[in-house]
A = this chain, B = another copy of it.
Amino acid sequence: MRELFKQEMQQLGDDLEKQGREVARSMERAASSLKDANLALAEQVIDADKRIDALERNLDEMGISLLARQAPVAADLRTVVSALRISSTLERMGDLARHVAYVARGRYPDHVNEGPLYDLLVEMAEHATVVGARVAELLDTHDLSLAEKIEEEDSILDQLHQKSFALILDESLDTGRQEIVDTVLLARYMERFGDHGVSIARRITFLVNGVNAERDESMRDVAESHEPRI
Q: Interface residues, chain A, CB within 8 Å of chain B? A: 61, 64-65, 67-69, 71, 73-74, 77-78, 81, 84-85, 88, 165, 168-169, 171, 175, 177-178, 180-181, 184-185, 188, 228, 230
Query: Shortest beta-carbon distance, A140 to chain B, in Å?
Result: 25
Q: Which of A88, A178, A184, A228 has the most CB of B within 10 A?
A: A184
Contacts A68-B77, A180-B184, A188-B188 supplied; 8 other A-B pairs, CB < 8 Å: A65-B230, A67-B67, A67-B81, A68-B230, A71-B73, A168-B177, A175-B177, A184-B185
A178 closest partner in B (C-beta): B169
Q: Which of A169, A177, A185 has the most CB of B within 10 A?
A: A177
Query: Shortest beta-carbon distance, A61 to chain B, in Å?
Result: 7
A165 closest partner in B (C-beta): B181
A230 closest partner in B (C-beta): B64
Q: Which residues of the partner chain B approach A71 to less than 8 Å between Cβ atoms?
A: 71, 73
Q: Which residues of the partner chain B approach A68 to less than 8 Å between Cβ atoms?
A: 73-74, 77, 228, 230
Query: Shortest beta-carbon distance, A65 to chain B, in Å?
Result: 6
Q: Which residues of the partner chain B approach A180 to less than 8 Å between Cβ atoms?
A: 177, 180-181, 184
CA distance A64 to B82 in the complex (A): 11
Partner of A169, one of B73, B77, B171, B177: B177
Partner of A168, one of B65, B84, B171, B181: B181
Query: Shortest beta-carbon distance, A143 to chain B, in Å?
Result: 26
